[in-house]
């Protein structure tokens, strides 16, 4: 086994431990909080979270991936950049704190004022953590990162639940992000302590500017692509509708966060070694795409067919209006799982310019889709359908650009990775569709068990018979261990 493959598998393994354990933690926390806090309160916090995400882009400036990519930075450069991020974090935190008044006025919600002011702490610590955290990835310390993330997730979730049980209401929802940002900085800084320099750090920033500038611009446009729907729903529908939509969207994002976010953080540090050998990079990425297609496409079918059971079991009856939105959004999970790894490849190829161009096209198209759903059709379901359509178009244009412009490869090498996964997906649809209608009046637990069992049997049988992945031998080897 090559050293690159060992590093990739090791990184994915430890990241997977944290992420998949995190699925259980996050679902338990979300399920408990959903029963203790009203949908409207989730909507209020969703607005604050979306807006602070925009400010967070300016506290990052694409610095972290630039540090990972650049192989010539010295210890002095890290200290200078760390100093720059501290000053930047202070400035952005103050700016967001002052912006809390116009934000609460725009949404005519006084609670937003306090929520935004509390969350301004996040911006400082997120900015201060950029260099220590980036160095962890640069050094490929994936095991440490995994355990750190899981520990913080458990602590933050537990504190949020305790606060909610004590009657903190929507304020319980901001405890986790604030506490997590502080703990992330403390732990990362202790692992990679940095010294303050007597300069603004501008000279060292110039070394990474050409890479970070396009990364920053991509982050800005990608923000609107991912968050404009929530901003507009909160303003032109209401906070209750936003609560239902936000819960559906977050649930849809779980597979992305816990599948591709297991792989993507590992891909950039490792694949950046291939920045001068794009053929090797494309060959390696083709294998990742095929693997993700076998996970993502079937998963879309499962989530779509089990949407009602998932919502009711995790969140309860009061979240029933979220079911159709989640069902529609689930259709896009497969392509989003693959598409979300594209950024790491553009970064590894040292081509953040193409990342920005593809992101710009995607953002413009997503904005058109969101505006169409909200102002023309005026329903949450329509917004979800429009997002699914735009994600599909963006998927096609992104990979045409990547293979034709960045890799300069034959596009067929990309498309052929989907032949077998698509066939499996079609078989699953044919088998699960009748069960979806027949089990509609059954117990939600019995229905989920039946659908899950059929899905598992078909999936395992297909990949085993076709020789795609030897799941049986893999399970046997784990049992023997």
Q: Where are the domains of the chain?
A: 1-209, 237-481
Q: Of the spans 137-151, 199-213, 407-421, which averages the highest pLDDT?
A: 407-421
Tens digits of residue pLDDT in 292-339: 999 899 999 999 999 999 999 888 888 898 999 999 999 999 999 999
Confidence check: pLDDT of 158 > 90: no
Q: Residue 478's pLDDT band (boundaries 50, 70, 90)?
A: very low
Residues 50, 227: contact at Cβ < 8 Å?
A: yes
Q: Is the pLDDT of residue 452 over 80?
A: yes
- Mean pLDDT (whole number) for 218-225: 80
Judged against a pLDDT cut of 70, whether residue 398 lies above it is answered with: yes
How does pLDDT run across 66-111, given as a tens digit for each residue?
787 777 777 888 888 888 889 989 999 999 999 999 988 888 888 8
How far is Cα 62 from Cα 212, in angstroms, rounded to an integer? 5
Residue 170 has pLDDT above 80, yes or no: no
Residue 432 in this model has a pLDDT that exceeds 80: yes
CA atoms within 13 A on the CB side of 386: 24
Question: Above pLDDT 90, what percent of the chain?
Answer: 28
What's the rounded mean pLDDT across residues 416-428? 94
What is the reported pLDDT for 36?
A: 80
Mean pLDDT of the chain: 84
More confident residue, 408 or 473: 408
The answer to whether the CB of 280 falls within 8 A of the CB of 354 is no
pLDDT at 175: 85
Is the pLDDT score of 1 beyond 50?
no
């Amino acid at each position: 086994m090559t050293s690159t493959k060992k590093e990739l598998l090791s990184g994915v393994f430890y990241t997977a431990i944290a992420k998949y354990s995190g699925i259980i933690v996050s679902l338990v926390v979300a399920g408990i909080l959903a029963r203790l806090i009203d949908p409207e309160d989730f909507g209020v916090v969703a607005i604050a979270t979306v807006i602070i995400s925009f400010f967070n882009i300016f506290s990052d400036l694409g610095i972290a991936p630039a540090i990972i990519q650049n192989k010539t930075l010295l210890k002095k450069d890290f200290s200078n950049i760390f100093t720059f991020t501290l000053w930047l974090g202070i400035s952005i935190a103050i700016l967001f704190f002052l912006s809390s008044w116009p934000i609460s006025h725009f949404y005519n919600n006084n609670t937003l004022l306090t929520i935004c002011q509390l969350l301004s702490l996040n911006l400082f610590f997120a900015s201060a953590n950029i260099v220590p955290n980036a160095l962890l990835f640069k050094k490929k310390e994936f095991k440490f990162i995994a355990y750190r993330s899981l520990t913080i997730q458990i602590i933050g979730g537990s504190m949020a639940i305790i606060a909610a049980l004590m009657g903190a209401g929507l304020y319980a929802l901001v405890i986790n992000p604030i506490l997590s940002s502080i703990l992330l900085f403390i732990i990362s800084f202790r692992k990679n302590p940095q010294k303050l320099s007597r300069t603004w750090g501008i000279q060292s920033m110039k070394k990474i500017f050409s890479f970070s500038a396009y990364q920053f611009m991509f982050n800005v446009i990608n923000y609107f692509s991912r968050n404009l729907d929530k901003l507009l729903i909160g303003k032109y529908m209401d906070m209750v509708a936003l609560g239902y939509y936000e819960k559906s969207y977050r649930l849809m994002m779980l597979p992305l966060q816990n599948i591709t976010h297991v792989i993507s953080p590992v891909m950039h540090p490792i694949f950046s070694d291939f920045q001068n050998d794009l053929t090797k990079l494309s060959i390696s990425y083709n294998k990742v795409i095929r693997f993700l297609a076998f996970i993502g496409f079937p998963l879309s079918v499962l989530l779509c067919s089990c949407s009602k059971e998932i919502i009711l079991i995790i969140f309860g009856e009061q979240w029933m209006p979220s079911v159709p939105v989640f069902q529609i959004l689930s259709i896009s999970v497969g392509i989003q799982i693959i598409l979300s790894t594209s950024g790491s490849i553009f970064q590894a190829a040292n081509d953040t310019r193409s990342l920005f161009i593809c992101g710009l096209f995607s953002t413009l198209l997503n904005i058109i889709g969101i505006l169409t759903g909200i102002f023309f059709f005026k329903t949450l379901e329509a917004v979800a359908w429009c997002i699914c359509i735009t994600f599909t178009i963006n998927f096609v244009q992104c990979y045409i650009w990547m293979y034709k412009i960045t890799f300069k490869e034959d596009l067929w090498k990309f498309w052929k990775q989907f032949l077998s996964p698509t066939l499996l997906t079609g078989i699953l649809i044919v088998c699960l569709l009748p069960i979806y209608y027949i089990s509609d009046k059954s117990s939600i637990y019995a229905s989920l068990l039946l659908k899950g069992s059929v899905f598992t049997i078909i999936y395992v049988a297909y990949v085993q018979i076709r020789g795609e992945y030897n799941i049986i031998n893999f399970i046997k080897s784990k049992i023997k261990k």
